[in-house]
């Protein structure tokens, strides 16, 4: 006896987990699929489109646009992948001596020097200790390797925390709007409620504690138990860097309201303005005198961002403080189910938190690569921001940090009408037209959330510097035509 209806496939959209259906992830959504199709068209028939390449400005993926990896990091990874090299004299002709020494040190931290073994579920202890030392040096406050959970990039760490905290749609997570859609996707997948708080575009995407309070109370009045506050600093997609005083108020807010503070700090190295500095939320909390007993706080970090931009390596960690031992044990258990994160990513996470020091053979070339990338990113951010602001109907806040600009499109009624006629959001319509005219891929603001009735796009600052002028002029030309076409 079978209860399966004849002819009905075992899995249809109607019988899928509805949480999966609900989840959206615009950074790799429709516009990117469209771009990939155009790219294939271009390969088959190079003259078929009004541009000769697709420029992926939709995703913070620096090396896909030509950024070179940091040599020292790759030397160490290469040696750890093939430790037999370390015994050979010829190796000195190919690798810097401090990379060789560092590879030895890393192997000594790995039980049996086995880079091919599952590690401890939290990651290799010696590497976690090294990361903790890096955090302590950054913050001026103690950090412990026992609090580090190494993960395959930051995304699985975010999922892990959502999984832990969300019991049902009555559990809410305060998230900035605009937000990086990993958060909305993860909350949807885990069946919780996203409680939005709006960043203030007028004040450079300011994060106001009054707005947090208002939204928290509104959520509570609807019967939502708000479990955590997500803060992305530097901001994604918004690029702002929080001021220390503002961060203090946020910490106090979490403490007073009994919220877990989930601090997305993956852009901590990406600061492009002189008057702003990165302060970790843990440093802020400790400065305020809060200890491990006062405030559950998770900081996410990734090797994908910074000046290194090693997205393909999937390395990252979360520093977990302020939870009871029993809750910590549950986090450990969930980490254990996936055994461990990839060991190359673990090694790289330890390297970025403890890069070459003055006096090391690679130090000067390392600093040159690092500063070259960061100063170029700062110039690119400024050039693109100025270009956006020079255009009719576009206003754009500064990218103080991170890798994105999030310009606002002041679209005409006629343009909005054309989008509606095409059955898409106005910013999605604009992004599609931009892509088809220029090959530039950006993400519509609707993928990140925005104040209703406002329209934006997220554009990375990552194309190589020599391409920026051409991008700007292609963009300008498209935009002017678009404005002319849709002038009310």
130-159 residues in contact with its own copies (CB under 8 A) are: 152-153, 155-156, 159
Binding mask 256-275 for its own copies (x = CB under 8 A): xxxxx---------------
Question: Which residues on adjacent β-strands are paired with residue 55?
Answer: 440
One residue of 57, 150, 166, 437 binding its own copies per CB under 8 A: 166
Binding piece for its own copies, criterion CB under 8 A, among 23-31, 197-205, 382-390, 479-487: 23-31
The answer to whether 235 contacts its own copies (rule: CB under 8 A) is no
Q: How far is the CB of 59 from its own copies (least distance, A)?
A: 7
One residue of 37, 41, 94, 375 binding its own copies per CB under 8 A: 94
Q: Measured from the CB atom, is 170 or 414 closer to its own copies?
A: 170
| Pairs from 131-134 (Cβ < 8 Å, separation ≥ 24) | 131/317, 131/349, 131/350, 131/353, 131/354, 132/319, 133/353, 133/354, 134/350, 134/353, 134/354
The answer to whether 320 contacts its own copies (rule: CB under 8 A) is no
Q: Measured from the CB atom, is 171 or 201 closer to its own copies?
A: 171
The answer to whether 463 contacts its own copies (rule: CB under 8 A) is no
What distance in Å separates the CA atoms of residue 354 and residue 134, rounded to the nearest whole number? 6
The answer to whether 230 contacts its own copies (rule: CB under 8 A) is no
CA dihedral 270, 276, 277, 282 (to 10 degrees): -100
The answer to whether 310 contacts its own copies (rule: CB under 8 A) is yes
What distance in Å separates the CA atoms of residue 117 and residue 350, rounded to the nearest whole number? 18
The answer to whether 324 contacts its own copies (rule: CB under 8 A) is yes
Q: Measured from the CB atom, is 16 or 136 closer to its own copies?
A: 16
The answer to whether 77 contacts its own copies (rule: CB under 8 A) is yes
Q: How far is the CB of 51 from its own copies (least distance, A)?
A: 17
Q: Give, as ranges, the residues between 341 and 380 that touch its own copies (CB under 8 A).
A: 341-345
Token pair for 114: 């086995």
Binding piece for its own copies, criterion CB under 8 A, among 19-27, 243-251, 439-447, 470-478: 19-27
What distance in Å separates the CA atoms of residue 17 and residue 101, rounded to the nearest whole number? 50
Q: How far is the CB of 107 from its own copies (least distance, A)?
A: 12
The answer to whether 45 contacts its own copies (rule: CB under 8 A) is no
Binding piece for its own copies, criterion CB under 8 A, among 7-15, 44-52, 411-419, 451-459: 7-15
Q: Measured from the CB atom, is 242 or 340 closer to its own copies?
A: 340
- The phi-psi region of residue 348 (left if phi > 0; otherwise alpha if psi is between -120 and 50; otherwise beta) is alpha
Q: Measured from the CB atom, is 62 or 445 closer to its own copies?
A: 62
One residue of 37, 203, 277, 338 binding its own copies per CB under 8 A: 338
Element (H, E) at 150: strand 148-151
DSSP at 241: -
Contact predicate 319/293, CB 8 Å = no
One residue of 337, 359, 421, 488 binding its own copies per CB under 8 A: 337
The answer to whether 333 contacts its own copies (rule: CB under 8 A) is yes
Q: Give, as ranges, the residues between 395 and 454 that touch its own copies (CB under 8 A).
A: none
DSSP at 206: B
The answer to whether 179 contacts its own copies (rule: CB under 8 A) is no
The answer to whether 87 contacts its own copies (rule: CB under 8 A) is no
DSSP at 481: H
The answer to whether 305 contacts its own copies (rule: CB under 8 A) is no
The answer to whether 172 contacts its own copies (rule: CB under 8 A) is no
One residue of 57, 165, 251, 419 binding its own copies per CB under 8 A: 165
What distance in Å separates the CA atoms of residue 366 and residue 374, rounded to the nearest whole number? 12
Q: How far is the CB of 42 from its own copies (least distance, A)?
A: 13
Q: Is the preceding omega at residue 58 within 30 degrees of 0, hence cis?
A: no
Q: Measured from the CB atom, is 165 or 431 closer to its own copies?
A: 165
Q: Is the preceding omega at residue 189 within 30 degrees of 0, hence cis?
A: no
The answer to whether 389 contacts its own copies (rule: CB under 8 A) is no
One residue of 136, 339, 367, 422 binding its own copies per CB under 8 A: 339
- φ/ψ of 203, rounded to 5, equals -105, 35
Q: Give Cα separations from 48 to 36, 37, 437 (angstroms).
A: 15, 13, 12
Q: How far is the CB of 446 from its own copies (least distance, A)?
A: 16
How many Å separate Cα 222 from the centre of its chain? 31
The answer to whether 327 contacts its own copies (rule: CB under 8 A) is yes
Contact predicate 361/203, CB 8 Å = no
Contact predicate 408/455, CB 8 Å = yes
Kindly provide the residue ranges of all beta strands, DSSP E only, lying in 308-407, ordered along the sequence.
Answer: 316-321, 394-395, 404-405
């Amino acid at each position: 006896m079978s209860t399966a209806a004849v002819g009905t496939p075992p899995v249809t959209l109607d019988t899928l987990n509805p949480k999966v259906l609900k989840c959206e992830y615009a950074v790799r959504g429709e516009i990117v699929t469209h771009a990939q199709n155009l790219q294939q068209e271009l390969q088959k028939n190079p003259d078929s489109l009004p541009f000769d390449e697709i420029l992926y400005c939709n995703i913070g993926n620096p090396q896909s646009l030509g950024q070179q990896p940091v040599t020292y990091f790759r030397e160490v990874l290469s040696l750890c992948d093939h430790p037999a090299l370390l015994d050979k004299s010829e190796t000195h002709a190919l690798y810097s001596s401090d990379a060789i020494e560092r590879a030895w040190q890393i192997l000594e931290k790995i039980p049996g020097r086995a880079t091919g073994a599952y590690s401890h579920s939290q990651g290799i202890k010696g590497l976690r200790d090294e990361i903790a030392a890096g955090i302590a040096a950054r913050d001026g406050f103690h950090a412990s390797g026992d609090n580090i959970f190494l993960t395959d990039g930051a995304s699985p760490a975010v999922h892990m925390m959502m999984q832990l905290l969300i019991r049902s749609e009555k559990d809410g997570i305060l998230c900035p709007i605009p937000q990086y859609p990993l958060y909305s996707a993860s909350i949807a997948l885990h069946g919780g409620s996203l409680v939005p708080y709006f960043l203030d575009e007028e004040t450079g995407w300011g994060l106001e504690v009054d707005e947090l309070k208002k939204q928290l109370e509104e959520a509570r009045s609807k019967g939502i138990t708000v479990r955590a506050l997500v803060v992305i600093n530097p901001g994604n997609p918004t690029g702002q860097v929080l001021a220390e005083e503002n961060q203090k108020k946020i910490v106090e807010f979490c403490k007073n309201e009994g919220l877990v503070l989930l601090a997305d700090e993956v852009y901590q190295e990406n600061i492009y303005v002189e008057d702003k500095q990165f302060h970790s939320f843990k440093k802020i909390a400790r400065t305020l005198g809060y200890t491990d007993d006062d405030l559950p706080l998770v900081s996410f970090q990734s090797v994908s961002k910074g000046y290194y931009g090693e997205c393909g390596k999937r390395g990252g960690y979360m520093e977990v403080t302020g939870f009871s031992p029993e809750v910590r044990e549950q986090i450990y258990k969930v980490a254990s189910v996936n055994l461990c994160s990839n060991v190359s990513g673990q090694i790289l996470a330890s390297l970025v938190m403890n890069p070459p020091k003055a006096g090391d053979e690679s130090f000067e070339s390392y600093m040159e690569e690092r500063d070259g990338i960061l100063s170029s990113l700062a110039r690119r951010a400024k050039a693109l921001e100025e270009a956006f602001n020079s255009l009719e109907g576009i206003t754009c806040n500064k990218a103080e940090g991170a890798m994105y600009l999030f310009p606002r499109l002041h679209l005409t009624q006629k343009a909005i009408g054309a989008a509606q006629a095409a059955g898409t959001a106005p910013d999605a319509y604009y992004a599609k037209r931009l892509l088809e005219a220029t090959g530039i891929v950006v993400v519509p603001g609707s993928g990140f959330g925005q104040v209703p009735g406002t329209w934006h796009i997220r554009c990375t600052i990552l194309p190589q510097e020599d391409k920026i002028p051409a991008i700007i002029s292609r963009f300008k030309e498209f935009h002017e035509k678009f404005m002319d076409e849709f002038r009310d």
